A = this chain, B = another copy of it.
Amino acid sequence: MPHESTRLSARDWARAALTAIADGGLAAVAVEPLARTLGVTKGSFYAHYRNRDELIAAALAEWRTHCEDGLADFAAITDPARRLRELLTTVVRSVRPLVPSVHLSLLGDRNDPRVAEAVGHVDQARLDLLATTYRELGLPSARAAARARVAYAAILGLSHLAQTDPDAPRSTVLANEAATVFLPPVRASRHASVPKE
């Protein structure tokens, strides 16, 4: 049988490792099972990486750049209110289904220093963007950072709940609730506009 599919590259292995991480965590990044799913034997793996650790590092790097690229799309939105709304609704609807899976699975391996470093950077970048957005919306710096933290926490948790619960709860009610909770940024002033129903 001739090789109808082209040969594999190092990125192919990294991507396969990422999908393995998405369901199974770091423990699922094993050379021989990965080779099986790719349809080759592990002999070819060691032509691209020296060992398993290098593959894990490459997969984490791939994930980080992927996350940063996704973040750049939101950072390009100039209007802070619209940017915030986009961030929230995107998460509620779980538009990008792959990325949060990787993120969640990595939580299980958060004690691994490489994982901690990658997750920490991704979290920090997202927190920075959220904090900047809230500052642009008028919140003082400390409160902007705090609210960014709470909002990002909700984002993480919602993606978690969406993945563990079988019933799809990305309803408009949920989106509205998240919006009323996190959208009005500055209701701390005197004429505090408490969200009404």
A interface residue numbers (CB < 8 A to B): 23-25, 27, 104-111, 116, 119-120, 123, 139-140, 142-143, 145-147, 149-158, 160-161, 163-165, 169, 171, 173-174, 176-178, 180-182, 184, 186-188, 194, 197
Contact = CB atoms under 8 A, between A and B. Distances in A.
B161 A154 contact: no
B194 A163 contact: no
A146 B161 contact: no
Given A145-B173, A181-B181, 4 more contacts: A105-B110, A139-B197, A146-B173, A150-B178
A191 to B, nearest CB: 14
Find the residue from A149, A174, A182 having the highest chain B CB count within 10 A. A149
A118 to B, nearest CB: 10
A161 B127 CA distance: 11
| Copies of this protein, total | 2
Find the residue from A145, A150, A152, A164 having the highest chain B CB count within 10 A. A150
Nearest to A88: B150
A193 B17 CA distance: 49
A162 to B, nearest CB: 9
A135 B151 CA distance: 23
A119 to B, nearest CB: 6
